Amino acid sequence: MRRWRMRCEGSAAWMTLAGERGIGKTRTAQAFATYAGLRGAHVLWERGYEGSGAPPYWPRAQAIRSYVRRRDPESLQRGMGAGAVQAG
């Protein structure tokens, strides 16, 4: 919840749930995503598959890429703040 409070104060946060199969990670993530989304947060999903052979951080890169493609440049700039660098 500390990261969620940081987000509410204007900071971005990335949260990861990890653990054994069947302990309720997906259900917990869905409940939290609903809670956060109702409060105006942008929620990105990523899934990692054990032994999939994907490069490190590939699921995260895909989630970010998908988010960026759905946003207009001005909105992205505002969301990223004054220190953001425009990529060509």
Quick one: three-class SS letters along 36-73? HHHCCCCCCCCCCCCCCCCCCCHHHHHHHHHHHHCCCH
48 plus 29 within the same structural domain:
no
Question: Which domain does 24 fall in, by range?
Answer: 1-41
Number of domains within the chain: 2
49 plus 70 within the same structural domain:
yes
pTM of the model: 0.61
CA pseudo-torsion sign 16, 18, 21, 23: negative
37 plus 51 within the same structural domain:
no
pLDDT lower than 70: segments of the chain: 1-12, 52, 84, 86-88
Burial call 23-42: b when 16+ CB within 10 Å, e when fewer: eeeeeebeebeeebeeeebe
60 plus 76 within the same structural domain:
yes
- Is 6 within the bounds of a domain? yes
pLDDT for the residue numbered 27: 93
pLDDT for the residue numbered 23: 93
29 plus 52 within the same structural domain:
no
pLDDT for the residue numbered 2: 66
- Is 37 within the bounds of a domain? yes
